[in-house]
Structure 1
Amino acid sequence: MSSWALPGAELDELLRSFRHRAWRWECQGTYRQPAEAEPWRRWRAGEPDDLAWLRPWLDQVAAATRAGRRFARVRVFREPPTEYQRWQLDVSPANIAAGEDVRVLTAGRARALGLPNRDFWLFDEDRVALMHFENQQFAGTEIIAAPEEVNRYRTWRDVASDHAIPFMAYLHDLTQRSR
């Protein structure tokens, strides 16, 4: 069974109520979320960012990890990274400090592994929130709970996790290559 939900409504509930693990496959090269527009503009202008706009997410991750629940994601990075992804290189250490396990796969490696080109969250091994985007903006989710379909997403998660490298190692390698 799958159903559509308005942008953020059901996804926010799943992000609050999962019991053990929330895992994200993030494969868009650029996201144009309204809440990120001003922070991204400041980054592009070289202005400082106190990450106040990200604080609610960081607090949610920190509270969940203190309670023994896990947040993890694998991000697919283009080579070279898009401008948005270069911004994420500066922002992501805050996610990690909050307790999120962030890993990276290159786009070429993701394609070679047969991984999907659609973003999704996998919650507690039994629910998928397939994310839909329009013009690089989040447009809604399709909730998938049928065991045979969820199993396919678990397999993709396992493959991606097995081949991705920790974000900080990716950042170090990228920095070394750009010297």
Structure 2
Amino acid sequence: MTECTITGRDELRRLFTRFRDSAFRLEVHRHYQGSDGAEPLHRFLTGQPPDDTWIHPWLETVRSRTEHGARFQRVRVLAEPMTSYQLYARALALRCNIPAGEDIRTLSESRAGELELPGHDFWMFDARWVTTMHFDESGNFTGAEFITASDTVSQYREWARIAWQHSTSYETSPMGT
């Protein structure tokens, strides 16, 4: 694979069929927007029962890959206090993502700043290639940069290590309430 720009979610999803051992995500935004999750978020905010059918394809990807030994790790950088979206994402993770096989942890925004973590989202695959995620001000995905340059990937590998080392699982996080 070569350096390239990823412009759509389908292109990004295809990356999850290419890695072998591990996928790591750092999430730093307070809100994400997308047509898939708009109605489920509204249901959460208005106290309606959840409808998680929109996330089933992702959960199936996670289950399939973890059953074959792959790891999905995610660190979410959380506002203090958490935003409504972050509360929704936590409930969804506890109900869906974690049971499917993702290991999701949290880190406060202040701690992430102290650790000098990047202010943008990224996925790192097999600790060998990275996609930096781009979102507009409303939280809509606008594209990603695919990176394989070893010196740049090395920096992301270090950020992932630091974020993971200093994060806490959702189940035990004091921010999880």
TM tier, smaller: over 0.9
Contact 2:78–2:108, Cα closer than 8 Å, also in 1: yes
Contact 1:8–1:141, Cα closer than 8 Å, also in 2: no
Task: Give the TM-score normalised by the residue count of structure 1.
Answer: 0.93
Amino acid at match of 1:8: R
Structure 1 alignment gaps of length 5 or more: none
SS at match of 2:133: strand
Higher helix share: 1
Question: Could you tell me how far apart the structure 2 residues matched to 1:134 and 1:32 are?
Answer: 9
SS at match of 2:92: helix
SS at match of 1:169: coil
Q: Which residue of 1 aligns with 2:135?
A: 133
Q: Which residue of 1 aligns with 2:97?
A: 95
CA distances 1:116-145 after superposition (whole Å, capped 9, x unpaired): 010000001111010011131001110000
User: Size of the alignment, in residue pairs?
Assistant: 174
CA displacement at 1:20 relative to structure 2: 0.5
SS at match of 2:25: strand
Q: Which residue of 1 aligns with 2:159?
A: 156
SS at match of 2:171: helix
Relative distance call for 1:166 and 1:174 in structure 2 (3 A) is: closer
What is the identity percentage for the equivalent residue pairs of Structure 1 and Structure 2? 39
User: How well do the aligned residues superpose, as a CA RMSD in angstroms?
Assistant: 1.3
CA distances 1:64-104 after superposition (whole Å, capped 9, x unpaired): 11011111100001000011001112111111100100000
Q: Which residue of 1 aligns with 2:118?
A: 116
Question: Could you tell me how far apart the structure 2 residues matched to 1:174 and 1:14 are?
Answer: 30
1:167 counterpart (152, 167, 170) = 170
Q: Which residue of 2 aligns with 1:31?
A: 32
Structure 2 alignment gaps of length 5 or more: none
